[in-house]
Amino acid sequence: MSDIRVSRSHSLDATAREQALCDLRAYLADTLKARTEVVEGEIMFTGTGYSGAIRIDETRVSGFVRLGILMKPMKGVINREIGTALDLYLGTA
């Protein structure tokens, strides 16, 4: 397995953090067809060839994605797409 780690700061209030988590979960489920579960403010997800988790706390968003063997060659593209999605959902784009 290969890991992609993400961590960045944000300035979202509690309501905006909750909305960002809901939007990220919908994106993972609808666009990427991932199975998602929210436990104590953390989204855990699994899909074909990947799994991971993401958490948004008061000041930071952090998470990881584990890539399966077939997804490893796409690590760079996936990492860029994660950055783009975080910019969108955190309002930094």
Q: What is the mean pLDDT of the chain?
A: 90
The percent of residues above 70 in pLDDT, for the chain, comes to 96
Q: What is residue 93's predicted lDDT score, i.e. its pLDDT?
A: 55
Could you tell me the CATH number of the domain that includes residue 54?
3.30.310.50
Tens of pLDDT along 26-58?
999 998 899 999 988 899 999 999 999 999 999
pLDDT attached to residue 92: 66
Instruction: Identify the pLDDT of residue 85.
Output: 84
For residue 59, the enclosing domain spans 2-90
If one counts the domains in the chain, the total is 1
pTM for the model stands at 0.85
Q: What is the largest CA-CA distance in the chain?
A: 38
For 50, the token pair is 């990947």
Q: Residue 86 is encoded by which pair of tokens? A: 């975080």
Phi-psi region of 72 (alpha: psi -120 to 50; beta: other; left: phi over 0): alpha
